[in-house]
Structure 1
């Protein structure tokens, strides 16, 4: 690694429950799996306080996330009360109120008169309850100075007055005149009298993401100003069967468009006039979008700039232009591009209202958690998976699954639509309750449908946000020695593919690929906090693209199946501009030969050149097992071009700074703390 990349920024320090200052960690030989590692009391009682729905904490990305004009990002009415509305009167009452509100629209609300646009005040989240929230025959207006507004997960439709290019009825789905810090996300906007979205009169810090815009003459207009003020991000939108303004961007200071799908279907009466249009003094960056059947897919006038890269043009005709100098979006915010060829499939499944957003609005702030019990006998369920299956889809409050001591040979999956689940062992120690299976990537599935693959080999798979596992052992006991006839010995004990996953006082044990921490999809955040735990393995056994903290834990090294002492602790595949793996205040040790294990290597899955793997090991105790050059290349990618570093480690495996052993400076270390990894999430045992 040629340098440690660090970006100065304003930081808000957060205090995390049971996360203290760095402490010296004793050698693993002095610790017992079953004991109170770092003061843990064993079984631990589940809290009766339910977490807020995951969507309630979502904040904007793109330009809406940038601090400016006295507003730090866009989070809507998060700091206010949550109300559910089913009538126009209630919607207007709360949307126009001076106080912050999260307003959950739980029915189809008809505007009266047709074309009515509710004048939304600052600090509001207006969100549809699952797929049931609709605004029919009108929309929303955000006037001068209105800021910090989220409009999300709604269907806004049908103010159409029978005239296609309607210049008499200015009935938009969302119109902004001088607003700032607005996030329009996961909506279905269609069949309106004028435009679907208008961003006008120096509105700025706008992000429009994951929406469907369709069946309309004008999709999306930006401008109506002589000034060069507007900063706007438009990503992952499906713009279908719209004739013009897709979008039209006039005098925007910075317009960043990426991963959008513009579709003009053949054989219909609607014909696109043009696609993305940059005019005036607009500076536009257009990346990895998919243009299908669109006439004049990319156009600019002589005074505007468009920088294009990575888009796909299928069946398009006419003007496709670029030129001029624009800007680098990454100087303003981080983002990850999806491959352009994948965009149509991605948006078909992901754009528009989601059933998982806006639900649980009627749940009180404090509610007793539902408790389910698992035991070999004398409980509600005999398997952990049976208890998980009993959790209702899109559950609003936490469900605690208490698992009695015993060994449960099964695979367990917490699916994505069952958030707020805690699985906790009730024994005196984490050794008492064991979930174990022995699948490997190269093993054939019992039904003959193919092999498991690495993620499919997991004993426990966590795919739901806000999941907690506590006081358990999770093991993959695949026998490599007895299975040398197969290829693919990766055998995952615990897989996470979700955000806000809390792993507390566990033993996670395997050989190769023990703990895999991923995200639900590229571009999604997947934070994992591992505390007071043991992670046991030998090859790449802490890995993935997730944003993961391992704190106050023991990383236990073990020899290979054949007695060989060699391996790699981490194999991050971090996406660019994301945090990777942070090991802090922990111990890396084991009964292995000195100088035989690397701290990590850089994984570029499938040769992906866009990833930027990161591991930081800091304030930890390293045994003599760690090599003097602790990082190494993987797959032909030089590790020094990715992000690997240490800070103030101790023990016989620690070493001084060198070209082969990058160390953070004290200044750089202030940007690589637990709070930097977890952001606005405070993990608390529940």
Structure 2
């Protein structure tokens, strides 16, 4: 906000329920978690439960608990790990052409598959190059009538949450006529195949061939087919593979067949409804072939012929599994290897496997909907991660910021909605985005450390700072924004905003367009107009610190609303605490800002159920730019503390009006938005 002061003051510088044992420490990328509901409104004259400005804050649990992790485990996690498209752009594909283009690209990509992609011609391959993540969006992502192919030398690939189906040709049960696999890989390394569903394919569902290394196959469904999972096609004893929590249902063989694997670790898999066609040999469960060393743990075999067998040259260790109605070979000999010499893991009880695997294997509606970008592990700056988000983004992208100070400006443009900024430190002060540009160098948008022009953006467990040193630089204006928003449905939770003049601007794209912003459990500091703009803005259960400028009479203004006259809801500060180090009677609650003299910007501010300090003036509202505060829509309701009073210069809202000037009414708008209930 640009305006001139009549007098300069010395400034202060800103300072399953099936088992208690889980497979791994498990979390799922499903976006922001539930938070504690706000406290009920206290009776008049009592204090609400509001965190003090100095009290340490713990982040809300950012990820919902689940039965799996969002990072590779087992052999795919070794020797540098498997990261897929981390560090690359995020794209959403809906056509064969787009999938083929991005999957085969030389650079890394995170490829979201939304809807069923019909591969043509029937049975064709989609080549997948190194450094790719291909993930289905919820349960919608499908590859139909074709296969994914990883050629020799490919490395670092993640394929998750897809249905790959229907390349089967009637009459070709043995897969001898058409080599239409679901996924085929030759001589690759570091691949994670997770949470996919394979059904009715032309040959093998998943073929891992020719000395492929560091592979994990987890939580997949293999169903309604002859050959499920084959490993080998080599005389070398090279492959290291982890196979866990998969469901083999309605399959005949290769569940898996592992040929010449250096290490094959199978645990917590479920084999059921085996195809029975009278074949005495090629109907089986797990087969350790050649010189494979195989370890099977806590799996469940239901009515399976030859549940686990081994060639005389192989070694197979089996422990803890349930054999329910099985027949034929139950081989176990040799010592094989100890998986714990390679990686840590936790076993689910075998008895729990059927319920666990049937529930959690295959595509999940919570996967692929939230893409996670790690800063700085995968993206060097916050802005680099924002730049990786596609225009028109249709799925939440969470930017996880490691603790530290990011000295940069961040711009989230209007065409990149649904971004969530998440600090991963224990306290919001651990993760800071800071810069020091005053508004004189670029106006409010140019000054802002962070500018959010997109809608449906959130920030949690972070601190935003503009640390421009206004005492050291003589300028016509000293506005220096920590944050500016123009988008709609913006949420700040457990965040801090630090600056002096114009710290936080919540705006909209134009005067008569309503944007909404919600701050909860947050901290805001400044001196002049440090909460301002025309967006409908709710500050709840937060601390507002009014900084002293060293004056005995006028240290500043908390709000400067420019609400459109057609919008009944401007700023609401509720169930919060205003604190100050300024002398008693030296701070205003606000003044009406009419940008450019706009008469239809008629500020609306309600401060209710909030503690006020002694620093608040007895007449706390004041004029601005020739516009009287009495023509604005300023009011208080049930405030308390040493700065609270009821006088003719302090309009009080009636009980009837207060009933429709609460958090729900301010935020609901035309779409019923209710972030305060989440």
TM-score by length of structure 1 reads 0.48
TM-score by length of structure 2 reads 0.48
Higher-Rg member (1/2): 2
